[in-house]
């Protein structure tokens, strides 16, 4: 048993506070990781507040984890002590279903779906006919000093990628990368990105590095200039004239808005046969105008994170192209304030927790 310290919410209404728990020592195929950095994802907030009505408490969030391998199980082949590694949203999947066999662990079709890095199986046993193939009703994420993860679910952080910058790529990066690959975004395409937060600004950078011409859409006036500073065109969502000029001109649009949002102004911007993919919101979408979809055989799709190969791929792609998220480092003691700022859209553009702050606290120095 390993003694671990994390930050946890005990109830939907409570702040994150220090929380001590135990993890099992690494089994044959597992690695132990000393957590150095952990990104703060908007979904951490949804989950802590039980906004998806599925939160298991105590809730230790964190699925954008970067750290160094400190111990490996006897059968581990992919990683060695001292390696800089990452863990994203998943830490296990059934490995037996059609999706897993195709390498799409994020669409695992087992009764429990995949095992999330925190909050347990994606389909808890109550929804899986009482089954729990993972034997764990809850899991504790990366807002903690140590994680223990199956080696196959541990990614390699390229040497020329700063580890703190790599952290948000493990969720925000792959969540936007996967659909862009799936729907074939390529050089010369016109790509729209709705929302300019953690996911949106990352999507824009990835699409640009793929050679696409990127337009960001935002509801925040200040972000127009910020987008330009990052090298992107940006348009205010209420600018009807601009929207009219862009009708039927986009090859692909990605919505990264983390809440219900009217997509109809955007489906009108899609070319014939083009797709608008929603990765931000998991709740019901506002009613879609099917006339607008049918008129040009447009589609609206959803996509959930990405598989392990895509996650390694986007880490390598970022290293190769010298890109990564814009991050602001915070101490874990400031996490509750950080959540408020994320909800207000005040972060530019992703908070990353420096886990040195947690270690100082454990050592009685914080």
Q: What are the residues binding its own copies (CB under 8 A)?
A: 52, 98-99, 104, 107, 109, 113, 122, 179, 182, 248, 264, 272, 275, 278-279, 281-304
Nearer to its own copies among residue 53 and residue 160 (C-beta): 53
Nearest distance in Å: CB 297, its own copies:
5
Smallest gap from residue 96 Cβ to its own copies (A): 15
Least separation in angstroms between CB 18 and its own copies: 32
Comparison of 67 and 258: residue with beta carbon closer to its own copies:
258
- Between CA 67 and CA 91 the distance in angstroms is 15
Query: Which residues are within 8 A (CB) of 97 and not within 5 positions of it... i.e. 6 or more apart?
Result: 108, 109, 110
Separation between Cα atoms, residue 342 and residue 42, nearest integer Å: 7
Compute CA 198 distance to the chain's CA centroid, rounded to the nearest angstrom: 9
How is residue 341 written in tokens?
A: 């700022």
Smallest separation (angstroms) from its own copies to the CB of 98: 8
Give least dist CB 313 to its own copies, A: 17
* 3-state SS, residue 99: helix
The distance of closest approach from Cβ of residue 115 to its own copies in the complex, given in angstroms and rounded to an integer, is: 15
Element (H, E) at 300: strand 299-302
Smallest distance from its own copies to CB 363, Å:
41
Q: Which is nearer to its own copies, 35 or 270 (CB)?
A: 270
Q: In this complex, which beta carbon is closest to its own copies, that of residue 92 or of residue 151? A: 92
| CB of 207 vs its own copies, minimal distance in Å | 19
Q: In terms of CB distance, is 288 or 366 closer to its own copies? A: 288
Cα dihedral 95, 43, 86, 58, rounded to 10, equals: -80
Greatest Cα pair distance, the chain, in angstroms, is 64
Q: Cα separation of 23 and 241, whole Å?
A: 56
Task: Select 123 or 223, whichever has its Cβ closest to its own copies.
Answer: 123
Min CB(284)–its own copies separation in Å: 4
Q: Return the number of the residue (259 or 346) whose C-beta is nearest its own copies.
A: 259
Euclidean distance between CA atoms 106 and 128, whole angstroms = 17
Residues 6 or more apart whose CB falls under 8 angstroms from that of 318 comprise 158, 161, 166, 169, 173, 206, 324
Distance CA 196, CA 222 (A): 11
Q: Scan for tokens 């991050």, then name that residue.
A: 327
Please state, in angstroms and rounded to a whole number, the distance separating the CA atoms of residues 161 and 350. 16
Nearer to its own copies, 231 or 302 (CB): 302
Q: How many whole angstroms separate alpha carbon 105 and alpha carbon 89?
A: 11
Q: Which residues is 71 bridged to in the sheet? A: 32
Cβ proximity to its own copies, 227 vs 305, nearer residue = 305
Structure-token match 């019901």, residue found? 284
User: Least Å distance between CB 259 and its own copies?
Assistant: 11
Phi, psi of 302 (to 5 degrees): -115, 155
Give whichever of 104 and 226 is closer to its own copies, judged by the CB atom.
104
What is the distance between the alpha carbons of residues 219 and 235, in angstroms, rounded to a whole number? 8
């Amino acid at each position: 048993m390993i003694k671990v310290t994390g930050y946890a919410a005990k109830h939907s209404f409570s702040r994150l506070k220090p929380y001590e728990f135990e993890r099992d020592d690494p089994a044959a195929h597992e690695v132990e990781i000393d957590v150095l950095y952990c990104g703060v994802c908007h979904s951490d907030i949804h989950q802590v507040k039980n906004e998806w009505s599925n939160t298991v408490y105590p809730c230790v969030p964190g699925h954008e984890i970067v750290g160094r391998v400190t111990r490996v199980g006897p059968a581990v082949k992919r990683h060695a002590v001292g390696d800089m590694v990452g863990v994203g949203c998943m830490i296990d999947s059934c490995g037996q279903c059609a999706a897993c066999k195709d390498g799409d662990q994020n669409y695992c079709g087992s009764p429990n779906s995949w095992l999330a890095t925190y909050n347990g199986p994606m389909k808890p046993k109550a929804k899986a006919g009482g089954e729990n193939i993972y034997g764990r009703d809850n899991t504790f994420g990366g807002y903690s000093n140590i994680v223990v993860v199956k080696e196959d679910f541990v990614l390699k952080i390229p040497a020329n990628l700063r580890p703190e910058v790599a952290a948000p790529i493990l969720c925000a990066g792959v969540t936007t990368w996967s659909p862009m690959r799936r729907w074939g975004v390529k050089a010369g395409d016109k790509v729209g990105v709705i929302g300019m937060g953690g996911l949106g600004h990352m999507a824009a950078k990835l699409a640009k590095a793929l050679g696409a011409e990127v337009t960001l859409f935002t509801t925040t006036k200040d972000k127009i200039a910020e987008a330009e500073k990052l090298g992107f065109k940006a348009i205010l969502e209420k600018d009807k004239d601009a929207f009219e000029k862009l009708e039927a001109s986009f090859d692909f649009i990605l919505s990264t808005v983390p809440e219900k949002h009217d997509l109809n102004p955007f489906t009108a911007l899609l070319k014939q046969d083009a797709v608008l993919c929603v990765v931000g919101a998991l709740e019901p979408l506002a009613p879609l105008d099917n006339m607008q979809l049918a008129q040009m055989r447009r589609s609206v799709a959803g996509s959930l994170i990405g598989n392990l190969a895509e996650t390694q791929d986007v880490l390598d792609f970022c290293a190769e192209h010298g890109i990564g998220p814009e991050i602001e480092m915070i101490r874990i003691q400031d996490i509750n304030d950080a959540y408020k700022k994320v909800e207000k859209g005040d972060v530019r553009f992703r908070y990353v927790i420096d886990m040195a702050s947690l270690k100082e606290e454990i050592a009685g120095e914080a």
